[in-house]
Amino acid sequence: RSESVLSKSPVEDAVQLKVPILQQSFHWDCGLACSRMVLQYLHPVSEEEFRIAGWNLHLTESIWTIDLAYLMHALGVRHRFCTQTLGVDKGYRNQSFYRKYFDTEEHRVNQLFAKAEASGVLVDKCSVTIQEIQEHLSMGHAAIVLVNAVLLHCDLCSTPVKYCCFLPIGQKCFCRKPDYQGHFIVVCGYNKASGCIFYNNPAYADRVCSASVSNFNEARTSYGTDEDILFVYKDR
Protein backbone atom coordinates (compact mmCIF):
# COMPACT_ATOMS: atom_id res chain seq x y z
CA ARG A 1 0.00 0.00 0.00
CA SER A 2 1.17 3.50 -0.74
CA GLU A 3 0.77 5.00 2.71
CA SER A 4 -1.13 4.69 5.94
CA VAL A 5 -4.84 5.30 5.43
CA LEU A 6 -5.01 7.48 8.52
CA SER A 7 -2.57 9.44 10.64
CA LYS A 8 -1.87 7.88 14.01
CA SER A 9 -3.54 9.36 17.08
CA PRO A 10 -5.02 8.04 20.35
CA VAL A 11 -8.32 6.23 19.86
CA GLU A 12 -11.14 6.87 22.31
CA ASP A 13 -12.83 3.95 24.05
CA ALA A 14 -16.28 4.85 22.70
CA VAL A 15 -17.57 7.18 19.98
CA GLN A 16 -21.05 7.81 18.60
CA LEU A 17 -21.31 10.52 15.96
CA LYS A 18 -24.62 12.29 15.47
CA VAL A 19 -25.03 11.39 11.81
CA PRO A 20 -28.62 12.03 10.64
CA ILE A 21 -30.62 8.92 9.73
CA LEU A 22 -32.22 8.98 6.28
CA GLN A 23 -34.13 6.16 4.64
CA GLN A 24 -33.56 5.07 1.08
CA SER A 25 -36.44 5.75 -1.32
CA PHE A 26 -35.99 2.82 -3.68
CA HIS A 27 -34.45 -0.65 -3.67
CA TRP A 28 -31.32 0.64 -5.44
CA ASP A 29 -30.43 3.98 -3.80
CA CYS A 30 -28.92 2.94 -0.45
CA GLY A 31 -25.58 4.46 -1.52
CA LEU A 32 -27.20 7.80 -2.32
CA ALA A 33 -29.08 7.75 1.00
CA CYS A 34 -25.78 7.13 2.82
CA SER A 35 -24.19 9.98 0.88
CA ARG A 36 -26.98 12.34 1.94
CA MET A 37 -26.48 11.25 5.58
CA VAL A 38 -22.78 12.03 5.64
CA LEU A 39 -23.30 15.27 3.71
CA GLN A 40 -25.85 16.48 6.25
CA TYR A 41 -23.37 15.63 8.99
CA LEU A 42 -20.26 17.04 7.31
CA HIS A 43 -21.07 19.67 4.71
CA PRO A 44 -24.79 20.30 4.26
CA VAL A 45 -25.74 20.81 0.62
CA SER A 46 -29.16 21.58 -0.81
CA GLU A 47 -31.31 18.94 -2.46
CA GLU A 48 -30.81 20.86 -5.69
CA GLU A 49 -27.00 20.74 -5.41
CA PHE A 50 -27.15 17.02 -4.66
CA ARG A 51 -29.52 16.33 -7.55
CA ILE A 52 -27.43 18.33 -10.02
CA ALA A 53 -24.21 16.58 -8.94
CA GLY A 54 -25.86 13.18 -9.46
CA TRP A 55 -27.22 14.29 -12.84
CA ASN A 56 -23.81 15.52 -13.99
CA LEU A 57 -22.26 12.19 -12.98
CA HIS A 58 -24.97 10.27 -14.87
CA LEU A 59 -25.89 8.23 -11.78
CA THR A 60 -28.44 5.53 -12.54
CA GLU A 61 -29.99 2.59 -10.69
CA SER A 62 -26.58 0.89 -10.59
CA ILE A 63 -24.48 2.72 -8.00
CA TRP A 64 -20.93 1.58 -7.24
CA THR A 65 -18.65 2.86 -4.48
CA ILE A 66 -16.51 4.65 -7.05
CA ASP A 67 -19.65 6.61 -8.03
CA LEU A 68 -20.00 7.78 -4.43
CA ALA A 69 -16.34 8.84 -4.36
CA TYR A 70 -16.89 10.95 -7.50
CA LEU A 71 -20.04 12.39 -5.88
CA MET A 72 -18.11 13.45 -2.77
CA HIS A 73 -15.44 15.07 -4.93
CA ALA A 74 -18.07 16.91 -6.98
CA LEU A 75 -19.56 18.33 -3.78
CA GLY A 76 -16.21 19.41 -2.37
CA VAL A 77 -15.91 16.75 0.35
CA ARG A 78 -12.46 15.42 1.27
CA HIS A 79 -12.54 11.67 0.88
CA ARG A 80 -10.48 8.52 0.48
CA PHE A 81 -11.84 5.41 -1.21
CA CYS A 82 -10.13 2.19 -0.13
CA THR A 83 -10.77 -1.01 -2.07
CA GLN A 84 -9.20 -4.37 -2.88
CA THR A 85 -10.03 -4.13 -6.59
CA LEU A 86 -9.19 -1.20 -8.86
CA GLY A 87 -12.02 -1.82 -11.30
CA VAL A 88 -14.58 -4.58 -11.75
CA ASP A 89 -13.91 -8.13 -10.59
CA LYS A 90 -14.81 -10.28 -13.62
CA GLY A 91 -15.91 -13.03 -11.25
CA TYR A 92 -18.98 -10.97 -10.40
CA ARG A 93 -20.44 -11.67 -13.84
CA ASN A 94 -21.84 -14.93 -12.44
CA GLN A 95 -23.21 -13.47 -9.21
CA SER A 96 -26.97 -12.95 -9.22
CA PHE A 97 -26.62 -9.54 -7.53
CA TYR A 98 -24.36 -8.16 -10.28
CA ARG A 99 -25.56 -10.15 -13.29
CA LYS A 100 -28.29 -7.77 -14.53
CA TYR A 101 -26.02 -4.75 -14.97
CA PHE A 102 -22.60 -6.39 -15.38
CA ASP A 103 -22.16 -6.15 -19.14
CA THR A 104 -23.27 -2.52 -19.33
CA GLU A 105 -21.47 -1.42 -16.17
CA GLU A 106 -18.08 -3.11 -16.48
CA HIS A 107 -16.62 -0.62 -18.98
CA ARG A 108 -18.17 2.43 -17.26
CA VAL A 109 -16.84 1.52 -13.82
CA ASN A 110 -13.38 0.59 -15.11
CA GLN A 111 -13.21 3.98 -16.85
CA LEU A 112 -14.08 5.76 -13.61
CA PHE A 113 -11.20 4.01 -11.87
CA ALA A 114 -8.84 4.79 -14.75
CA LYS A 115 -9.71 8.50 -14.66
CA ALA A 116 -9.91 8.84 -10.87
CA GLU A 117 -6.48 10.34 -10.20
CA ALA A 118 -6.76 12.87 -13.03
CA SER A 119 -10.25 13.75 -11.82
CA GLY A 120 -9.13 14.44 -8.24
CA VAL A 121 -10.84 11.34 -6.82
CA LEU A 122 -8.62 9.62 -4.26
CA VAL A 123 -8.56 5.82 -4.58
CA ASP A 124 -6.18 3.52 -2.73
CA LYS A 125 -5.83 -0.25 -3.22
CA CYS A 126 -5.53 -1.54 0.33
CA SER A 127 -7.20 -3.37 3.19
CA VAL A 128 -8.44 -1.35 6.14
CA THR A 129 -8.29 -2.59 9.74
CA ILE A 130 -11.00 -2.10 12.34
CA GLN A 131 -8.49 -0.02 14.31
CA GLU A 132 -8.12 2.39 11.38
CA ILE A 133 -11.88 2.72 11.12
CA GLN A 134 -12.12 3.43 14.86
CA GLU A 135 -9.38 6.04 14.63
CA HIS A 136 -11.19 7.74 11.75
CA LEU A 137 -14.41 7.86 13.79
CA SER A 138 -12.64 9.10 16.89
CA MET A 139 -11.56 12.20 14.95
CA GLY A 140 -15.19 13.03 14.21
CA HIS A 141 -15.24 11.72 10.63
CA ALA A 142 -17.71 9.21 9.17
CA ALA A 143 -17.43 6.41 6.60
CA ILE A 144 -19.64 4.72 4.02
CA VAL A 145 -19.07 0.96 3.95
CA LEU A 146 -20.23 -1.64 1.44
CA VAL A 147 -21.40 -4.78 3.23
CA ASN A 148 -23.06 -8.06 2.43
CA ALA A 149 -26.51 -7.47 3.94
CA VAL A 150 -27.10 -11.22 4.13
CA LEU A 151 -24.33 -11.49 6.74
CA LEU A 152 -24.75 -8.25 8.73
CA HIS A 153 -26.85 -8.68 11.87
CA CYS A 154 -28.00 -5.84 14.10
CA ASP A 155 -28.00 -6.78 17.79
CA LEU A 156 -30.55 -4.05 18.60
CA CYS A 157 -33.22 -4.83 15.99
CA SER A 158 -35.94 -7.22 17.10
CA THR A 159 -36.01 -8.84 13.67
CA PRO A 160 -33.24 -8.87 11.07
CA VAL A 161 -33.61 -6.97 7.80
CA LYS A 162 -34.83 -9.41 5.19
CA TYR A 163 -33.06 -9.07 1.88
CA CYS A 164 -36.56 -8.98 0.37
CA CYS A 165 -36.92 -5.36 1.48
CA PHE A 166 -34.36 -4.40 -1.16
CA LEU A 167 -36.50 -5.74 -4.00
CA PRO A 168 -38.33 -3.31 -6.31
CA ILE A 169 -41.91 -2.57 -5.23
CA GLY A 170 -44.25 -5.11 -6.71
CA GLN A 171 -41.62 -7.78 -7.29
CA LYS A 172 -42.61 -10.96 -5.51
CA CYS A 173 -40.19 -12.37 -2.94
CA PHE A 174 -39.90 -16.10 -2.44
CA CYS A 175 -37.45 -15.62 0.44
CA ARG A 176 -34.71 -17.78 -0.99
CA LYS A 177 -31.67 -16.47 0.81
CA PRO A 178 -29.02 -15.24 -1.65
CA ASP A 179 -25.29 -15.57 -1.11
CA TYR A 180 -24.68 -11.85 -1.54
CA GLN A 181 -26.75 -8.69 -1.25
CA GLY A 182 -24.65 -5.56 -1.61
CA HIS A 183 -25.77 -2.76 0.70
CA PHE A 184 -24.24 0.53 1.83
CA ILE A 185 -24.29 1.65 5.46
CA VAL A 186 -22.84 4.65 7.32
CA VAL A 187 -20.48 3.69 10.14
CA CYS A 188 -20.91 6.28 12.87
CA GLY A 189 -19.47 4.90 16.12
CA TYR A 190 -18.09 2.09 18.23
CA ASN A 191 -17.71 0.91 21.80
CA LYS A 192 -14.49 -0.93 22.59
CA ALA A 193 -15.74 -2.31 25.91
CA SER A 194 -18.77 -4.03 24.36
CA GLY A 195 -16.94 -4.78 21.10
CA CYS A 196 -19.57 -3.24 18.85
CA ILE A 197 -19.82 -0.99 15.80
CA PHE A 198 -22.68 1.50 15.39
CA TYR A 199 -24.07 2.23 11.95
CA ASN A 200 -26.98 3.86 10.16
CA ASN A 201 -28.79 1.43 7.88
CA PRO A 202 -30.71 3.31 5.15
CA ALA A 203 -33.26 0.49 5.12
CA TYR A 204 -34.60 2.12 8.31
CA ALA A 205 -35.51 5.70 9.19
CA ASP A 206 -35.80 5.43 12.96
CA ARG A 207 -32.78 3.75 14.52
CA VAL A 208 -29.03 3.42 14.91
CA CYS A 209 -27.97 -0.20 14.48
CA SER A 210 -25.19 -2.10 16.24
CA ALA A 211 -23.19 -5.17 15.23
CA SER A 212 -20.31 -6.99 16.84
CA VAL A 213 -16.90 -6.16 15.40
CA SER A 214 -16.50 -9.75 14.20
CA ASN A 215 -19.87 -9.73 12.40
CA PHE A 216 -19.20 -6.30 10.89
CA ASN A 217 -15.82 -7.48 9.61
CA GLU A 218 -17.38 -10.63 8.17
CA ALA A 219 -20.02 -8.58 6.31
CA ARG A 220 -17.63 -5.93 4.98
CA THR A 221 -14.99 -8.39 3.77
CA SER A 222 -17.43 -10.83 2.15
CA TYR A 223 -16.78 -11.72 -1.48
CA GLY A 224 -18.66 -9.15 -3.51
CA THR A 225 -17.72 -6.10 -1.43
CA ASP A 226 -14.08 -5.73 -2.55
CA GLU A 227 -13.69 -4.47 1.04
CA ASP A 228 -14.91 -1.08 -0.22
CA ILE A 229 -14.90 1.73 2.31
CA LEU A 230 -15.27 5.42 1.58
CA PHE A 231 -13.72 7.59 4.28
CA VAL A 232 -15.14 11.12 4.40
CA TYR A 233 -13.67 13.99 6.39
CA LYS A 234 -15.14 17.00 8.18
CA ASP A 235 -12.43 19.30 6.85
CA ARG A 236 -12.36 19.98 3.14
DSSP string, 76-105: T--EEEEES-SS--GGGGGSHHHHHHHHHH
The domain that holds 163 is classified in CATH as: 3.90.70.10
Q: Domains in the chain: how many in total?
A: 1
Q: Is residue 24 part of a domain?
A: yes
Stated as kind and residue range, the H or E segment containing 131 is: helix 130-138
* pLDDT (average), residues 31-44: 95
The confidence score (pLDDT) of residue 113 equals 97
Q: Is residue 4 part of a domain?
A: no
Share of the chain above pLDDT 70, in %: 87
Q: Which residues, 6+ apart, have CB-to-CB distance to 167 below 8 Å?
A: 27, 173
Q: Is residue 162 part of a domain?
A: yes
- Would the pTM count as exceeding 0.95? no
Express each pLDDT in 193-206 by its tens digit. 999 999 999 999 99
Q: Is residue 60 part of a domain?
A: yes
Q: Is residue 213 part of a domain?
A: yes
Q: Is residue 1 part of a domain?
A: no
For the four alpha carbons of 92, 98, 101 and 105, in that order, the dihedral sign comes to negative
Q: Is residue 6 part of a domain?
A: no
Contact status, residue 25 vs residue 33, Cβ threshold 8 Å: yes
Domain residues for the domain of 137 are 14-232
Q: Is residue 71 part of a domain?
A: yes
pLDDT exceeds 70 at position 103 = yes
Q: How far is CA 207 from CA 28, 43, 210, 215, 227, in A?
A: 20, 22, 10, 19, 25
